[in-house]
Amino acid sequence: TFLNKNEMQVLGIDNNRIKPVEILSVNKHPNEHKKLIKITTESGKELIVTPEHKIAVKDLFGKMIFKEAQRLTGFDKVITMNYE
């Protein structure tokens, strides 16, 4: 599925810097388990992802790591970016 310009962005890494990256298209695959996880960030942003989807979070030392959504806990700090 192709998206309209500026319809969706995600965070990407370029030269060890986090920056927004525009999504041009989305591939839809069957979800065999029919299970989705809803993540709500401290700022109120919501993500709905499959359990295997990797999410950028800060570890105990403030370093960015990627964890599968199914392994997130209430103590994990999801990395988000404000943009308009």
pLDDT in tens, 4-57: 888 888 777 778 787 888 888 877 767 666 788 999 888 888 888 888 889 989
Number of neighbours of residue 64 by Cβ within 10 angstroms: 14
Cα 3 from Cα 31, distance rounded (Å):
21
Tokens standing for residue 41: 């960030």
Where on the phi/psi map is residue 7: left (φ > 0), alpha (ψ -120 to 50), or beta? alpha
Q: How far is CA 48 from CA 10, 16, 36, 59, in A?
A: 13, 26, 6, 22
Q: What is the pTM of this model?
A: 0.63
Q: What is the pLDDT of residue 33?
A: 64
Cα 83 from Cα 60, distance rounded (Å):
26
Q: What is the pLDDT of residue 24?
A: 85
